[in-house]
Amino acid sequence: MNIDLKGRKAIVTGSTAGIGRATAEGLAQAGASVVISGRGNARVDEAVRQIRQAFPGSEVAGVAADLATVEGVESFIARTPDADILVNNVGTAHIRDYTGIEDIAKIPDEDWLGLFQLNVMSGVRMTRHSICRAW
Amino acid sequence: MAKQAEASGITQEEAEQGFLKAMRPTTLIQRFATTDEVASMIIYACSEQASATTGAALRVDGGVVRFVA
């Protein structure tokens, strides 16, 4: 079975490392043009360089944005072409370092809300844009 | 996991095995899935070969969840 995504445009959020990076690489290998994302220009640029080097001929671009904010998502969407494939990968399980139950109890509301903004709302906002485009 | 291993004076592999035994005792593959293994499912789901797979929750969990529903 040969997965051929030539002609498809893909966006993978949170893709300078980890599952997102592996997904972006796999999509590029399958022929898709891929936009990767991360918060900082340096990490995004380096990831793009490494992927292009590992997979010569692949179409990979990068956009730096904080997808945990409305402004970040709007900025990202403004700079990325519409896509056929959207992988809402960005997220984290790390709030802060803690060593016990007492520390967990001290995690402030803003940290929990920050997790929600990144892990849930980034996907909602990105998908909302894609849905409006598709239909 | 690396930080926990360092703090406990054990290897990362020992820390991972300890985590799996304590927190994921039902795992069938007895190891962490790799990023490539997770990415492979995502890429398959993006492909024409998955055209009849939609609205589904696809697991890549090493068999941790012991039911098919």
Calpha distance B21→B35 (Å, rounded): 21
According to DSSP, residue B34 is labeled P
DSSP A30-56: TT-EEEEEES-HHHHHHHHHHHHHHST
A31 φψ region: left (φ > 0), alpha (ψ -120 to 50), beta (else) = left
pLDDT, tens digit (0-9, with 9 covering 90-100), for A92-111? 988 777 777 788 888 899 99
Binary contact (B49, A22; C-beta < 8 A) = no
Calpha distance A107→A96 (Å, rounded): 8
Q: What is the pTM of this model?
A: 0.91
Q: Predicted confidence band at A56 (pLDDT cuts at 50, 70, 90)?
A: very high
pLDDT, tens digit (0-9, with 9 covering 90-100), for A19-33? 999 999 999 999 999
Q: What is the mean pLDDT of chain A?
A: 93
Q: Which two tokens stand for residue A6?
A: 């030539």
- Asked if pLDDT for residue A116 goes beyond 80, the answer is yes
Interface list for B 26-55 with A (CB within 8 A): 34-36, 38-40, 42-44, 46-49
pLDDT, tens digit (0-9, with 9 covering 90-100), for A69-96? 999 999 999 999 789 999 999 999 887 7
Q: Which two tokens stand for residue A93?
A: 């399980």
- Option in B35, B44, B46 nearest A85 (CB): B46
According to DSSP, residue B48 is labeled G
How long a stretch of residues is chain A?
Answer: 135
Partners of A19 on chain B (C-beta within 8 Å) are: 35, 38-39, 42
Partners of B42 on chain A (C-beta within 8 Å) are: 19, 23, 26, 87
**Least Cα separation, residue A122 to chain B (angstroms):** 18
Instruction: Provide the pLDDT for residue A81.
Output: 73
Instruction: Provide the pLDDT for residue A133.
Output: 67
- Asked if pLDDT for residue B25 goes beyond 70, the answer is yes
Q: Compute the CA torsion angle A131, A92, A30, A86 (nearest 10 deg).
A: 10
